[in-house]
Amino acid sequence: MKDDLVKIRVADIYLDESIYPRENIDHKRINIFVENLRDEFLFDPIEVQLYPGKKGRYRILDGAHRWSACKKAGQIEINAIVKTLYKIDPLLYAAKMAIGPRQLTEVETKNTARRAFNANPKLTSSEIGKSIGRSRQTVDSYIADLRATNLLALGLKVFHLNQLGIPQERIAKRLDVLQQTISSYLQEMPEMAFLVNSDLAKGYTVPQVAQKHGWPEPLVWSQSLKSKGDQTRFKELNWALKPWDVWDFNDGDKRFGDARPNRMPAQVIAHILYFFSKPGDLVFDPMAGGGVCPDTCLAMERRCWSLDMDDRPDTRPEIEPWHWDLEGKWENLPIMNAKKKPDLIIWEPPRFDIAEKGDGKRDISGLSKTEYLRFFEKFFFFLKKISKKKTRLGFIFTDFRDYENCPADQEDPNQAILIDAYCKVLKTTGWKLTHIIQTPLSSERFSAELTTPMQKKRILGVTSRYVLILKGV
């Protein structure tokens, strides 16, 4: 633990309630401290740590009343020890420091134990007890219900990831538990699924069962539709199966994927799965976004390995974190050393942000047009590398044109990326085009307020979206 004694501006220090072990501030005590300051009494330094995510700011570990008194007295600076906590929970450290002149109450002690366990379920009762001055048995009684809920939640995550065909070693790494723990949970999977299937057999609807058992709805659909034919799946999901090359769905299915603007309709993913894969096939989803693809794969009984730069271990444990860096090496990608290779790749890349025009952002949408297409070339080569001979690629994209506030006949073609640019890169990287499918965006997103000035200015908006189906050559 590194200790630095410094003077810090009072205004740069905050009381972070998430790591404060007491229920409230004692204002009488603060007033006493204010009087002490006026009498030029010297306090011990308070203890702080750098506030995560707030540059140049600190949060209090010990000394909230002394800091409050300095703030009330109008002092500019305060003596503080800046702590660097290595693998020490800041809430428990603050609780330990609070065991002094004014002990934590029983309620504060219990709440601190529960908050610490919720933040880090790997903490043992002994570790928590040492910090709050309670026995292991007492802490056990504090957190018994939380521990039971956590075990159930972990079991559900294991089941979810297993249903998508994610290997045990990757599940263990993703959930940060031992692989033998995963194995023991998998032995209990039939019983977990039995309770859900029992309620489905009694006539309960999928949403009712999902709410009762706390399951994600797509996971319940995976049980409800298990071993049924794909056409039956479409029928029970109330999706119209369109056997032609225009799949027009105005809205995304709210049951699948997170609520996001312009969410990809699950029906589009399901159609790609229907025509270009079989039940049990492995799908690779390299930029999962809101999770529509893995959710749909659950309902369609396909395995799915998903990646995304946005890490959401609690809400989306099935999507493993990965950042696609234009200049980075991708050899450490989980799928690189996998024995299985995907039967189908579904990729919807991030939009090309014409407005940014390469402003230095390192996420793909902020790249310049040249860098954006260079990333595509590298990425398509990479997908070819991890594919097998029969792997199909479903590439979903929309045209990008600089049409906002610009009449159609004045648009700059140098600022556009259209279907021909993608086809050129795909051909260069060894992918052969087999199908072009239209999946247009809804024109309803252009409200009357937008449409009228567009008509007057002769602006031509974009509703085009395509699925290109390709195979390696």
- Evaluate whether 455 touches 415 at the Cβ level (below 8 Å): no
- Evaluate whether 122 touches 39 at the Cβ level (below 8 Å): no
Query: Which long-range CB contacts under 8 A does 226-232 form with residues at least 24 apart?
Result: 226/301, 227/301, 230/273, 230/274, 230/279, 230/300
pLDDT for 314 equals 81
Average pLDDT on 93-113 reads 82
The answer to whether domain 2-145 and domain 227-472 are alike in fold is no
- Mean pLDDT in the chain? 88
pLDDT interval class at 357 (50, 70, 90) = very low
Q: Which two tokens stand for residue 463?
A: 């509703």
pLDDT for 327 equals 79
Top pLDDT among 114 and 345 is at 345
Average pLDDT on 436-449 reads 81
Average pLDDT on 22-33 reads 86
pLDDT for 230 equals 97
CATH 3.40.50.1220 fits 2-145, yes or no: no
pLDDT for 50 equals 92
Query: What type of residue sits at position 455?
Result: Q
| Position 152 pLDDT exceeds 70 | no
pLDDT interval class at 145 (50, 70, 90) = low
pLDDT for 284 equals 96
DSSP 409: G
pLDDT for 361 equals 47
pLDDT for 102 equals 64
pTM attached to this predicted model: 0.73
Q: What is the DSSP string of 185-226?
A: HHHTHHHHHHHHHHHHHTT--HHHHHHHHT--HHHHHHHHTT
Task: Lowest mean pLDDT of 107-121, 301-315, 394-408, 441-455, name the range.
Answer: 441-455
pLDDT for 326 equals 78
pLDDT for 267 equals 96
pLDDT for 473 equals 83
Top pLDDT among 225 and 452 is at 225
Q: What is the pLDDT of residues 291-320, one digit of tens each?
A: 999 999 999 999 999 999 889 888 899 999
| Position 431 pLDDT exceeds 70 | yes
Domain ranges (residues) in the chain: 2-145, 227-472
Integer Cα distance of 342 and 74 in angstroms: 64
Name 83's Cβ contacts closer than 8 Å, sequence gap at least 6. Answer: 1, 2, 3, 47, 48, 49, 61, 93
- Pairing relationship of beta strands 2-9 and 466-472 according to DSSP bridges: unpaired
pLDDT for 354 equals 60
pLDDT for 201 equals 95
| Sign of the torsion angle spanned by Cα atoms 205, 208, 211, 213 | negative
**Fold type of domain 227-472:** Rossmann fold (3.40.50)
Average pLDDT on 274-300 reads 96
Task: Lowest mean pLDDT of 149-158, 211-220, 387-396, name the range.
Answer: 149-158
Q: What percent of the chain has pLDDT over 90?
A: 48
| Position 137 pLDDT exceeds 60 | yes
pLDDT for 1 equals 46
